[in-house]
């Protein structure tokens, strides 16, 4: 509470440890952050926080913080240098590489944890300054399939509704998401809604483990990893067969398509026939009766809200999985109504706002618009005041291609010779990670971060960066909500905000005119970058022109885009035309007249969304005789990503100190494994040595390992597969085949 903590002042901000976007107040005493409390007026969390929100900031004061620029010397050791020396070296080397090997020889690899102003500025420097689309970021590893799903189904990215739909939904479809550990505050809202009327609020969980999320389910759909496409089609088949469809939606708002050919509803019905409950049970191990009941609840006990994360996205058929969940909403009319939404939750705090919306991926421009579109390039070139034709029409490399093609200057097979990485740790977080270490080590690698990581170990230059509360800026969370954090304290040593680093690099490369700058006042510079971005996306469907710093400073809850002008209250529910669709306002369109709903899937079929007839395809590497287990990976509630921050908070490190492998008792017995024994887990790419947790929550044949641990023996991405989705290019972290053997005593 505000009263019981002794601080000098409380400053409004956001949590940086997941995509929920919880509002916080940061308590500052004697110039240091001394406490965090939840903001009771924040529309995302109403004052509640999880352990990371309360304690994560403590890592700021860990003695391992990077405080000075470091450059690798001829003896392979890092030595401290001045900022001038470090930045001059980076600029000189980048220019040399570009002159010798072309403008695309140097890449930028960003993060869903950078502030929006930073991602936008680095993206502008590369695409508008160098004329190179070699820009990608870690949201490619977590959200790209959700983007692909939204864009192919509805025509634009990001969900239609808001978290506020949770309190109006009567059925929840939680799929590919361990909400209770990965988005605990959202889970709290879902659980409260369930508890408010346990008999009438229903929860369906589709997930191969009996997680703490699945334990609140009325219906559990334990489909084997990567087989749920068949479950979704089977649910659709039951819905159509029993006439639980919304006929008006189907006739007026849906367009049925194979992806290459438009078909009619009869063809869709015919296509679904193969997915009988019995056939799907055989394929997925998911009980047929559960699928039938899930379909009934989904369609008849609405409004229905789906929520998902990596279980759908980190797949070789991630876009299709997203499409098929959207299908269920469209054919039952469960979208664009209060409590009805098809909602992908974001993993990182600013993957939506900072990377998707600013177009900081290799194929996009600001406003999530394709770089291949000449009209979009023209508009952005005008906004950036750069010569016509400066932006390259050809997309750059996506993440997996980038790291596969990064290497030494004299290696003709590797066109990327240098890379600038900020606020992320790909040496640990890429699937099959050790395969890519050689390229990182041999290229000219620059890393800006707050702590030493597995990636800084491979760098040539390490730049010490500021933590969110040491610089401020805007984050955009999963529900299209932008929130401003104000600077609370100074960074340690000589650490600097990433925006300053971008501007200094631009200056040394002769591109300072691109970046609006106002001396060394960080708040003014971040505001100028934000205003530059607002102008750039002013005329787009994603417009957040009306979201100004002044408004964000005053508003406890931030603002949701579209927000086209400064009078707009923002938009809680998209695709609804006519009256202002903000919920809980007097003129609200609670359930809009259907004729007001308008999707953008295809210009030729105005107003409609695509319902896809996607064929079934299972995982890339299913278990076989040699590798008989499914391995799936995920987060735990205490730890954030690769653990570089949360493992430096003593309370968190003690509560969840290392990764482990969850194994079902029947499998453990077969292999002579007891709780706590060390297990060697081997895939086609590498192995881990992990302590066993013998638990019933993982079904027979399925193993689970959390991914935060950076210990070489327990680093799970030495084992995972780097195959990726054809459309989104997002890798299949969630599923690969492994074998196990007992390795030794605890
Ligand atoms: Fe932070 Fe996410 Fe926890 Fe909220 S749920 S406090 S945003 S980590």
Whether residue 717 is annotated as binding a ligand: the answer is yes
Residue nearest to atom 3 of ligand 1 (CA): 50
Instruction: Determine the atom of ligand 1 nearest the C-alpha atom of 183.
Output: 5
Q: Which of 183, 168, 201, 216 is nearest to 45 (CA)?
A: 183
pLDDT tens per residue across span 201-251 = 999 999 999 999 999 999 999 999 999 999 999 999 999 999 999 999 999
Place of tokens 């940086």: 16
Mean pLDDT of 278-306: 97
Neighbours of 296 (CB within 10 A): 18
For the chain, what's the residue count?
A: 746
3-state helix, strand, coil in the chain (%, to 5): 35, 20, 45
CA dist 317 and 506 (Å) reads: 39
Helix (H) or strand (E) holding 24: strand 23-29
ipTM score of complex: 1.00
Average pLDDT of the residues of the chain: 94
Listed residue (423, 353, 443, 488) closest to 645, CA to CA: 423
CA of 589 relative to ligand 1 center, distance in Å: 30
Average pLDDT over residues 372-398: 97
In angstroms and rounded to an integer, the radius of gyration of the C-alpha atoms of the chain is: 25
The Cα 577–Cα 595 span in angstroms is 9
86 within 8 A of 465, measured Cβ to Cβ: no
Question: Among the atoms of ligand 1, which is closest to the Cα of residue 38?
Answer: 6
- Tens of pLDDT, residues 238-257: 999 999 999 999 998 999 99
Nearest CA to ligand 1 atom 4: 22
From 13, 25, 39, 50, the mutation candidate for ligand 1 (largest count of ligand atoms within 8 A of CB) is 50
Residue of 13, 24, 38, 53 best suited for mutating to test ligand 1, as the one with most atoms within 8 Å of CB: 53
**Atom 8 of ligand 1, residue of closest alpha carbon:** 17
On whether 227 is known to bind a ligand per the annotation, the reply is: yes
Distances (CA, A) of 611 to 31, 251, 253: 55, 12, 10
Cis, peptide link before residue 562, omega less than 30° from 0: yes
Comparing CA positions, the residue from 42, 288, 50, 376 lying closest to residue 184 is 50
Going from the Cα of 22 to the center of ligand 1, the distance in angstroms, rounded, reads 6
Buried b (16+ CB within 10 A) or exposed e, 117-142: bbbbbbbbbbbbbbebbbbbbbbbbb
- Compute CA distances 255 → 267, 318, 468, 616, whole Å: 12, 21, 44, 20
Say if CB 107 and CB 396 are below 8 A apart. yes
Q: What is the pLDDT of residue 578?
A: 53
332 is in an annotated binding site: no
Q: In angstroms, rounded to a whole number, what is the distance separating the alpha carbons of residues 359 and 372?
A: 12
pLDDT at 259 over 70: yes
State the distance between the two ends of the chain, measured CA to CA, in whole angstroms. Answer: 42
Structure confidence at residue 469 (pLDDT) = 97
* Ligand 1 atom 1, closest CA: 53
Q: What is the pLDDT of residue 600?
A: 76
pLDDT digits (tens, 9 = 90+) for 675-711: 999 999 999 999 999 999 999 998 899 999 999 999 9
Which helix H or strand E contains 441, and what residues bound it?
Answer: helix 437-442
Count CA atoms within 13 Å of residue 139 on its CB side.
35
Question: Measured between alpha carbons, how far is 314 from 311 in angstroms, rounded to an integer?
Answer: 6
State residue 581's pLDDT score. Answer: 41
Ligand 1 centroid to Cα of residue 48, in Å, is 9
pLDDT at 607: 82
Is 138 marked within a binding site? Answer: yes
**Is 707 a known ligand-binding residue?**
yes
CA of 652 from ligand 1 middle (Å) equals 14
Higher pLDDT, 674 or 539: 674
DSSP character string of 330-362: HHTT-SSBTTBEEEEPPSSTTIIIIIITTT-ST
How many angstroms is it from 183 CA to the middle of ligand 1? 7
Give the model's pLDDT for residue 4. Answer: 65
8 A C-beta contact, residue 329 and residue 335: yes
Residue 518 CA to ligand 1 center (angstroms) comes to 33
| CB-based contact 526:354 (threshold 8 Å) | no
Structure tokens at 604: 């030729």
Q: Is 729 helix (H, G, I), strand (E, B) or coil?
A: coil
The answer to whether residues 659 and 679 touch, using CB atoms and an 8 Å cutoff, is no
Residue 588: the pLDDT is 35
Going by alpha carbons, the residue nearest to atom 2 of ligand 1 is 18
User: Is the pLDDT at 468 greater than 60, yes or no?
Assistant: yes
Helices (H) and strands (E) in the chain, counts: 23, 29
Q: Taking residues 54-60, report their average pLDDT.
A: 95
Candidate from 14, 49, 51 with most ligand 1 atoms within 8 A of CB, to mutate: 49
Residue 584 pLDDT > 70: no
Task: State the pairing for strand pair 418-422/106-110.
Answer: parallel
pLDDT score recorded for residue 698: 82
344 beta partners: 308
CA angle 606–241–257, rounded 5-degree value: 30
730 known ligand binder: no
Ligand 1 pocket, residues with Cβ under 6 angstroms: 15, 17-18, 20-22, 45, 49-50, 52-53, 183-185
Q: How far apart are CA 306 and CA 339, in angstroms?
A: 10
Residue 587 is predicted with a pLDDT of 36
Q: Is 337 labeled as ligand-binding?
A: no
pLDDT of residue 196: 96
Residue by residue, DSSP assigns 240-274 as HHTT-S-HHHHHHHEEEE-SSSEE-HHHHHHHHTT
SS3 570: coil
| CA 362 to ligand 1 centroid distance, Å | 29
Which atom of ligand 1 is found nearest the CA of 52?
A: 8
Long-range residue pairs from 263-268, CB within 8 A, at least 24 positions apart, any chain: 263/613, 267/613, 268/240, 268/611, 268/613
The DSSP line for 50-109 is -HHHHHGGGGGG-TT---S-EEE-TTS-EEE--HHHHHHHHHHHHHHHHHHH-GGGEEEE
Nearest CA to ligand 1 atom 5: 185
Q: Are 305 and 173 in contact (CB under 8 A)?
A: yes
Phi/psi of residue 238, each to 5°? -65, -40
pLDDT band at 745; cut points 50, 70, 90? confident
Query: Where in the sequence numbering do the catalytic residues fall?
Result: 52, 142-143, 310, 347-348
Q: How far apart are CA 424 and CA 421, in angstroms?
A: 7
Asked whether residue 674 carries a pLDDT value surpassing 50, the answer given is yes
Average pLDDT for 540-557: 92
CB 371 within 8 A of CB 378: no
CB–CB of 229/614 below 8 Å? yes
Instruction: Spell out the residues 6+ positions from residue 518 whose beta carbon is closer than 8 angstroms to its own.
Output: 524, 525, 528
For residue 289, give both structure tokens: 């009766």
Closest approach atom of ligand 1 to CA 477: 7
Residue with tokens 């508008």: 128
Kind and range of the H or E element at 739?
strand 736-744
Q: SS3 of 476, please? A: strand
Contact at 8 Å (CB) between 45 and 60? no
Task: Answer whether 343's CB lies under 8 Å from 305's CB.
Answer: yes
Q: What percent of the chain has pLDDT over 70?
A: 96
In this prediction, residue 5 has a pLDDT band, given cuts at 50, 70 and 90, of confident
Domains in the chain, start-ordered, CATH in brackets?
A: 70-142+350-467+483-541 (3.40.50.740), 144-345 (3.40.228.10), 629-744 (2.40.40.20)
User: Nearest 5°: CA angle at 570, between 568 and 572?
Assistant: 145
Under 8 Å between Cβ of 637 and 672: no
């Amino acid at each position: 509470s505000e009263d019981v903590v002794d601080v000098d002042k409380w400053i409004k901000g956001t949590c940086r440890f997941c995509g929920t976007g919880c509002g916080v107040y940061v308590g500052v005493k004697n110039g240091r952050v001394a406490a965090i409390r939840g903001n009771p007026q924040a529309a995302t969390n109403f004052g509640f926080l999880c352990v990371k929100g309360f304690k994560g900031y403590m890592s700021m004061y860990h003695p391992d913080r990077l405080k000075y620029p470091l450059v690798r010397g001829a003896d392979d050791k890092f030595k401290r240098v001045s900022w001038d020396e470090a930045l001059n070296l980076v600029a000189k080397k980048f220019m040399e590489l570009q002159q010798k090997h072309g403008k695309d020889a140097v890449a930028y690899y960003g993060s869903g944890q950078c502030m929006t102003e930073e991602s936008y500025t680095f993206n502008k420097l590369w695409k508008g300054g160098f004329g190179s689309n070699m820009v990608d970021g870690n949201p490619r590893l977590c959200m790209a399939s959700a983007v692909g799903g939204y864009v192919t189904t509805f025509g634009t990215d990001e969900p239609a509704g808001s978290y506020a739909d949770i309190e109006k939904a009567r059925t929840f479809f939680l799929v590919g998401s361990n909400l209770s550990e990965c988005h605990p505050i959202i889970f709290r809202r879902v659980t409260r809604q369930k508890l408010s009327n346990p008999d009438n609020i229903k929860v369906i969980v589709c997930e191969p483990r009996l997680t703490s999320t699945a334990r609140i389910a009325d219906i559990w759909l334990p489909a084997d990893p990567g087989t749920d496409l068949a479950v979704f089609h089977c649910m659709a088949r039951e819905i159509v067969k029993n006439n639980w469809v919304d006929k008006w939606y189907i006739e007026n708002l849906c367009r049925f398509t194979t992806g290459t050919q438009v078909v009619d509803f009869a063809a869709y019905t015919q296509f679904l026939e193969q997915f009988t409950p019995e056939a799907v049970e055989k394929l997925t191990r998911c009980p047929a009766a559960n699928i039938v009941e899930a379909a009934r609840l989904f369609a008849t006990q609405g409004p229905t809200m789906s929520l998902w994360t990596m279980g759908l996205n980190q797949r070789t058929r991630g876009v299709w999985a997203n499409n098929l969940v959207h299908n269920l909403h469209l054919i039952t009319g469960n979208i664009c109504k209060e409590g009805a939404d098809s909602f992908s939750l974001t993993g990182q705090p600013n993957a939506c706002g900072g990377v998707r919306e600013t177009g900081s991926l290799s194929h996009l421009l600001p406003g999530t618009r394709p770089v291949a579109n000449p009209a979009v390039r023209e508009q952005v070139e005008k906004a950036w005041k750069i010569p016509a034709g400066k932006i390259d029409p050809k997309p750059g490399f996506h993440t997996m291609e980038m790291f596969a093609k990064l290497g030494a200057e004299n290696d003709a097979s590797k066109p990327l010779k240098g890379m600038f990485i900020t606020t992320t740790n790909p040496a640990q977080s890429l699937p099959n990670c050790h395969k890519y270490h050689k390229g990182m080590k041999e290229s000219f690698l620059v890393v800006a971060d707050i702590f030493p990581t597995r990636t800084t170990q491979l760098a040539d230059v390490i730049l010490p960066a500021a933590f969110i509360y040491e610089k401020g800026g805007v984050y955009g969370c999963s529900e299209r909500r932008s929130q401003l954090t104000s600077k609370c304290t100074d960074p340690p040593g000589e650490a600097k905000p990433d925006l300053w680093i971008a501007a200094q690099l631009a200056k040394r490369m002769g591109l300072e005119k691109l970046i609006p700058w106002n001396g060394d006042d960080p708040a003014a510079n971040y505001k100028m970058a934000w205003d530059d971005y607002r102008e750039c996306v002013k005329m787009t469907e994603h417009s957040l022109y009306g979201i100004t710093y002044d408004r964000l400073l005053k508003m406890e809850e931030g603002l949701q885009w579209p927000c086209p002008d400064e009078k707009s209250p923002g938009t809680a529910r998209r695709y609804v035309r006519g009256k202002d669709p903000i919920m809980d306002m007097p003129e609200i369109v609670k359930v809009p007249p259907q004729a007001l709903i308008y999707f953008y899937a295809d210009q030729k079929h105005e107003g409609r969304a695509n319902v896809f007839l996607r064929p079934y395809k299972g995982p890339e590497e299913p278990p076989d005789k040699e590798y008989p287990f499914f391995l799936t990976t995920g987060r735990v509630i205490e730890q954030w990503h690769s653990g570089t921050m949360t493992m430096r908070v003593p309370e968190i490190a003690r509560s969840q100190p290392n990764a482990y492998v969850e194994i079902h008792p029947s499998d453990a017995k077969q292999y002579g494994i007891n709780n706590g024994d060390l297990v060697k887990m081997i895939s086609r790419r590498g192995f881990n040595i992990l302590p066993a947790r013998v638990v019933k929550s993982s079904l027979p044949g399925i193993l689970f390992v959390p991914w935060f641990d950076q210990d070489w023996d327990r680093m799970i991405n030495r084992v995972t597969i780097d195959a990726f989705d054809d459309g989104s290019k997002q890798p299949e972290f969630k599923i690969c085949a492994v074998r196990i053997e007992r390795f030794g005593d605890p």
